[in-house]
């Protein structure tokens, strides 16, 4: 099925394997030899009768070239023995030599070879140095059979054989077409390049150098494997150049998802991102936030640990420390240096408070480590295994590990494949190839003498464990078969046998969409088959599954679910605790200790703050202005609003005083109205008395605006109407004091000025001017502040919120009352000046009392409100207002009413005239 370019291609040279009877390419020479000038030497037949080129001297070849070769005669056809320039005896000896060699050559191992119309390549780790990665001699193909046998690798290879034979027996999938296979032992990462070149070459072992490989047909149409990321990446660099489909069944590296670098790689196992996500969700599920990470000294350990650290950065899980496991030596002996390194690691494990250990490492590097763990009797931890060793039978056979703790692992989903358990231990029968198919060649590392017998000894545990990983290989074979079905245009009864180019098959594999044993098979844009993952627990119970499933992870949902009970190593089967610090109680914030956010001390949130754990566990948030909290709270509550209420005792007392003041003022007003023409009323001011009494009544009626929750209207009344009313009263008293002084002392000295004062209604003008000035002051105060009610916390009781009209009222009260204070001082001065006037006109005592009380109470109120806030300040403010009103009502008008009602004989013109005469005579 091979083809070449127009010119003669350069050929891959061959020689016998240094450690195998099967032929393979010679690594010492260049993989693709340069053109050989001149005619080629006579080819030497192989034991199978195939012709191949040699640059080596063959025991059966004449060192001298025949004339026919120099003359350019055609090479003998395959299967013809030709010994040029040999005598009869030499020919007989050479024939006997080949006969003995053919008889000694074993039949092809049917485990590795199956003839077919289209071949699949398989790379499986049947052997590996369980103590580590051997030092490779890159001039030789490694002897895989000298390493220790890996049962799981052979189990996966058997799955490929089973799937191929099942497809061949499936009449409707590829009718009339048989799949074959060529499988090679890759012995972990040791043997990758030689099998790839073998698969890429054609059946005559030619690997031509061409400018265009669009129509190149290699030995196989697709390759399944290898089993680890490092080998898969190495192989993928070759296969991607030819766009030869490569389906890996257990490599999880995210590098393989880069389709620009590896366009031909597909995976039947979820990538490392999903493996790590499942692991992190497992940690979060059991509230483990303090872990230890152990990694191998290779790409697998380094890449996966970096991916885990990146994922943990967005969670509340911290890594106590991370250690690199030493790489075992090629020999089975643990060197002193390795022993010291392992001792240091186990010492740190014993000293750490972390009780969960995550291990990213191939199983090859773990035997010595767990040997040291058992030797030191270290126990009491949860081991979380990466997929590379989560179901490793060799490690599980170390039954003493059950005493070291609980083992959990992330592994591919287990799918039962009917008939495979019986097929796995069935010895394959050697079969000659069909006459219409080319006889298969062979290469190195296609033998395993102990594989079947070893697998038989593990057959029971393999069956109980659910054949994990087998389905990934099984699905890969069926994906290729479905792609071939589509590419060849097969019907239910036949398939045309056409040349299959790898790049066309790759396109069809990416499109497959079918159901296999109840699972949907398709590849996403990254080339992954989104198969579920399982979390398994190791168990050592006879005749039971050694890897019991405890949870499932769905890659499409990125969610770990369907948890089952886990048998823990702890007393009473309780979930192990692995935290650096105990969880804080509700309402406590975390204060980090050191570099790890998982190590902290707990501090109570202060009153007025609360802890919103979903937003920030390391800081307490303050409550809004209208809310409050006690210490160590997780939420705030509404503050208790504080305002003057009717049912409180202070409010009732002030209300009674205001009612008495209102009624007394109303009685005074009525009394003055009825005795308006009497001398007592005229001496008190006459009509101006009503100008004073009316604002007093209005001020008393403004008491309700101080009680209840403040509103805009009540705040406006508090800050405007009362102070204006009070200013009118003070202005009238002041001008009344001045007017008495004018009548008795200034009229005679300044008659014209007094006449002008009387003619222009000086008292009323003065009151109007003072009132207008006070209105201007109040308006300016409102512009600077606001009449809208506000709320602020009570300093003495934070649980209480004070509702007030103006929180800065105590700062502006002195400014608002400044005019009233000036008027009170002026009125007091005039009253004091007129202390020698006639008794009925001498109001010095009453005015002095009123003005002194008002002055002192206002100053005291300003001082009090700078020190106290809340309801107490409001009730004191209201009480001062009512007392000032009572001082004017009763202190100024009360004595006059008393004289009018109880001493009417003194309320006559004759009595007032006599007093004036006595005052005049006394002055003379």
Q: Identify the pLDDT of residue 923.
A: 55
Which residue from 654, 660, 586 is spatially nearest to 617, judged by alpha carbons?
Answer: 586
Q: Identify the pLDDT of residue 708.
A: 84
- In DSSP notation, 672-741 reads HHHTTTSHHHHHTTTHHHHHHHHHHHHHHHTGGGGSSS--HHHHHHHHTHHHHHHHHHHHHHHHHHHHHH
Q: Residue 453 corresponds to which tokens in the numbers above?
A: 């017998």
- CA angle, 543 then 411 then 378, to 5°: 70
Q: What is the DSSP letter of 522?
A: -
Residue 34 has pLDDT above 70, yes or no: no
Residue 618 has pLDDT above 70, yes or no: yes
Residue 76 has pLDDT above 90, yes or no: no
Residue 691 has pLDDT above 80, yes or no: yes
Q: Identify the pLDDT of residue 731.
A: 86
Mean pLDDT of all residues in 410-414: 90
Model confidence at 441, pLDDT cuts 50, 70, 90, reads low
- In DSSP notation, 131-194 reads T-PPPP-TTS---GGGSEE-HHHHHHHHHHHHHHHHHHT-TTTSTT--EEEEEEE-TTTTS-HH
Q: Identify the pLDDT of residue 920.
A: 61
CA distances from residue 465 to 251, 393, 410, 412, 470 in whole angstroms, order as listed: 21, 10, 14, 12, 11
| Cα first-last separation, the chain | 155
Residue 84 has pLDDT above 60, yes or no: no
Q: Identify the pLDDT of residue 838.
A: 58
CA 675 to chain centroid, in Å, comes to: 89
How many residues does the structure list for the chain? 924
Mean pLDDT of all residues in 801-806: 75
Q: Which of 30-34, 742-746, 799-803, 815-819 has the highest mean pLDDT?
A: 799-803
Helix (H) or strand (E) holding 282: helix 272-285
Share of the chain above pLDDT 70, in %: 79
Model confidence at 5, pLDDT cuts 50, 70, 90, reads very low
Mean pLDDT of all residues in 202-214: 85
- CA angle, 541 then 547 then 548, to 5°: 85
Angle between helices 871-892 and 649-674 (to 10 degrees): 20
Q: Identify the pLDDT of residue 690.
A: 87
Mean pLDDT of all residues in 442-466: 75
Q: Residue 388 corresponds to which tokens in the numbers above?
A: 């590379």
Share of the chain above pLDDT 90, in %: 29
Least confident range from 261-265, 439-443, 727-731: namely: 439-443
Higher pLDDT, 786 or 254: 254
Mean pLDDT of all residues in 832-842: 61
- Write the pLDDT tens digit of every residue in 524-557: 999 999 999 999 999 988 888 889 999 999 998 9
CA 449 to chain centroid, in Å, comes to: 52
Q: Identify the pLDDT of residue 54.
A: 35
Q: How many CB atoms lie within 10 A of CB 175?
A: 14
On whether the CB atoms of residues 483 and 512 are closer than 8 A, the answer is yes
Least confident range from 344-358, 397-411, 718-732, 808-822: namely: 808-822
Residue 82 has pLDDT above 60, yes or no: no
Q: What is the DSSP letter of 391?
A: T
Mean pLDDT of all residues in 759-778: 86
Q: Which of 255-259, 261-265, 458-462 has the highest mean pLDDT?
A: 261-265
H-helix segments, 751-870? 751-759, 762-784, 809-816, 818-833, 844-867
804 forms bridges with which residues in the sheet? 790
Model confidence at 118, pLDDT cuts 50, 70, 90, reads very high
Q: Please give the Cα distance from 845 to 895 (Å, whole number).
A: 11
Residues ≥6 apart with Cβ < 8 Å to 859: none
Q: How many CB atoms lie within 10 A of CB 522?
A: 14
Q: Residue 579 corresponds to which tokens in the numbers above?
A: 């935290």
Across the chain, mean pLDDT equals 79
Q: Residue 459 corresponds to which tokens in the numbers above?
A: 């057959």
Q: Please give the Cα distance from 134 to 146 (Å, whole number).
A: 11
Mean pLDDT of all residues in 291-298: 92
- Write the pLDDT tens digit of every residue in 488-501: 999 988 999 999 99
Q: Identify the pLDDT of residue 746.
A: 64
Q: Please give the Cα distance from 636 to 638 (Å, whole number).
A: 7
Mean pLDDT of all residues in 414-419: 90
Burial 12-51, CB ≥16 within 10 A → b, else e? bbbbebeebebbbbbbeeeebeeeeeeeebbbbbbbeebb
- Write the pLDDT tens digit of every residue in 238-254: 999 999 999 999 998 98
Least confident range from 276-290, 461-475, 768-782: namely: 461-475
């Amino acid at each position: 099925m091979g083809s070449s370019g127009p010119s003669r291609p350069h050929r891959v040279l061959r020689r016998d394997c240094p450690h195998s009877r099967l032929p393979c390419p010679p690594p010492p020479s260049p993989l693709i030899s340069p053109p050989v000038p001149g005619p080629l030497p006579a080819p030497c037949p192989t034991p199978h009768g195939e012709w191949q080129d040699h640059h080596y001297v063959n025991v059966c070849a004449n060192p001298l070239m025949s004339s026919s070769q120099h003359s350019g005669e055609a090479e003998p056809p395959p299967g013809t023995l030709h010994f040029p320039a040999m005598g009869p005896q030499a020919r007989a000896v050479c024939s006997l030599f080949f006969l003995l060699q053919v008889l000694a050559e074993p039949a092809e191992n049917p485990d590795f070879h199956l003839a077919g119309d289209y071949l699949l390549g398989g790379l499986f780790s049947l052997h590996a140095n369980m103590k580590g990665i051997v030092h490779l001699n890159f001039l030789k193909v490694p002897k895989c059979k000298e390493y220790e046998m890996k049962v799981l690798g052979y189990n996966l290879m058997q799955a490929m054989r089973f799937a191929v034979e099942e497809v061949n027996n499936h009449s409707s999938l590829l009718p009339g077409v048989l799949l074959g296979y060529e499988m090679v032992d890759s012995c972990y990462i040791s043997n990758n390049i030689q099998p790839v070149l073998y698969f890429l070459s054609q059946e005559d072992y030619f690997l031509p150098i061409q400018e265009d490989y669009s129509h190149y047909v290699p030995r196989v149409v697709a390759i399944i494997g290898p089993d680890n990321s490092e080998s898969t990446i190495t192989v993928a660099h070759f296969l991607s150049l030819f766009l030869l489909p490569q389906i890996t069944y257990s490599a999880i590296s995210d590098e393989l998802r880069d389709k620009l670098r590896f366009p031909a790689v597909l995976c039947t196992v979820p990538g490392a991102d999903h493996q790590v996500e499942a692991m992190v969700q497992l940690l979060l599920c059991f509230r483990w936030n303090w872990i230890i990470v152990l990694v191998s000294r290779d790409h697998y350990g380094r890449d996966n640990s970096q991916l885990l650290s990146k994922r943990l950065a967005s969670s509340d899980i911290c890594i106590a420390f991370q250690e690199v496991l030493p790489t075992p030596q090629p020999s089975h002996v643990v060197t002193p240096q390795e022993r010291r390194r392992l001792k240091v690691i186990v010492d740190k494990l014993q000293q750490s408070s972390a009780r969960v250990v995550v291990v990213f490492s191939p199983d090859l590097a773990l035997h010595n480590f767990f040997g040291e763990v058992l030797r030191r009797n270290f126990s009491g931890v949860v081991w979380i295994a990466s997929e590379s060793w989560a179901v490793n039978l060799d490690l599980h056979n170390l039954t003493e590990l059950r005493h070291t703790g609980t083992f959990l692992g992330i592994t591919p989903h287990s799918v039962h494949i009917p008939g495979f358990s019986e097929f796995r231990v069935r010895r394959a029968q050697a079969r000659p190839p069909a006459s219409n198919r080319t006889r298969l060649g062979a290469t190195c590392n296609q033998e395993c003498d102990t594989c079947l017998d070893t697998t038989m000894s593990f057959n029971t545990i393999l069956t109980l464990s659910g054949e994990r990983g087998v389905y990934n290989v099984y699905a890969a074979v069926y994906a290729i078969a479905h792609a071939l079905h589509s590419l060849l245009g097969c019907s239910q009864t036949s398939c045309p046998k056409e040349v299959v180019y790898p790049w066309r098959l790759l396109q069809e594999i990416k499109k497959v969409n079918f159901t296999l044993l109840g699972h949907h098979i398709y590849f996403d844009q990254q080339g992954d088959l989104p198969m579920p993952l399982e979390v398994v627990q190791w168990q050592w119970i006879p005749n039971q599954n050694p890897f019991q499933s405890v949870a499932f992870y769905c890659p499409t949902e990125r969610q770990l679910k369907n948890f089952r009970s886990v048998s823990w190593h702890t007393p009473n089967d309780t979930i192990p605790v692995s935290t650096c610090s105990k969880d804080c109680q509700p309402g406590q914030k975390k204060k980090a200790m050191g570099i790890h956010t998982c190590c902290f001390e707990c501090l109570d949130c202060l009153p007025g703050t609360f802890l919103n754990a979903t937003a920030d566990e390391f800081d307490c948030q303050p409550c809004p202005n209208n809310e409050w909290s006690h210490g160590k709270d997780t939420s705030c509550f509404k503050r208790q609003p504080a305002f003057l209420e009717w049912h409180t005792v202070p409010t009732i007392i002030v209300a009674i005083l205001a009612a008495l003041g209102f009624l007394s003022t109303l009685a005074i007003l009525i009394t003055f109205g009825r005795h308006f023409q009497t001398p007592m009323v005229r001496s008190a001011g006459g009509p101006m008395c009503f100008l004073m009494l009316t604002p007093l009544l209005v001020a008393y009626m403004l008491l309700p605006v101080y009680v209840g929750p403040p509103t805009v209207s009540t705040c406006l009344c508090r800050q405007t109407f009362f102070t204006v009313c009070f200013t009118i009263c003070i202005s009238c008293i002041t001008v009344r004091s001045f007017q008495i002084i004018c009548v008795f002392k200034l009229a005679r000295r300044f008659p014209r000025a007094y006449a002008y004062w009387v003619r222009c209604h000086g008292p009323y003008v003065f009151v109007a001017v003072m009132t207008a000035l006070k209105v201007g002051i109040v308006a300016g105060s409102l512009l600077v502040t606001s009449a809208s009610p506000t709320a602020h916390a009570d300093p003495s009781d934070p649980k209480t919120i004070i509702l007030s009209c103006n929180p800065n009222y105590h700062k502006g009260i002195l400014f608002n009352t400044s005019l009233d204070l000036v008027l009170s001082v002026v009125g007091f001065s005039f009253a004091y000046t007129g202390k020698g006037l006639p008794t009925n006109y001498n109001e010095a005592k009453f005015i002095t009392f009123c003005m002194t009380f008002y002055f002192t109470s206002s100053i005291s109120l300003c001082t009090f409100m700078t020190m106290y806030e809340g309801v107490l300040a409001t009730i004191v403010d209201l009480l001062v207002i009512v007392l000032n009103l009572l001082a004017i009502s009763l202190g100024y008008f009360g004595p006059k009413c008393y004289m009018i009602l109880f001493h009417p004989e003194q309320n006559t013109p004759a009595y007032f005239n006599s007093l004036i005469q006595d005052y005049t005579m006394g002055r003379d």
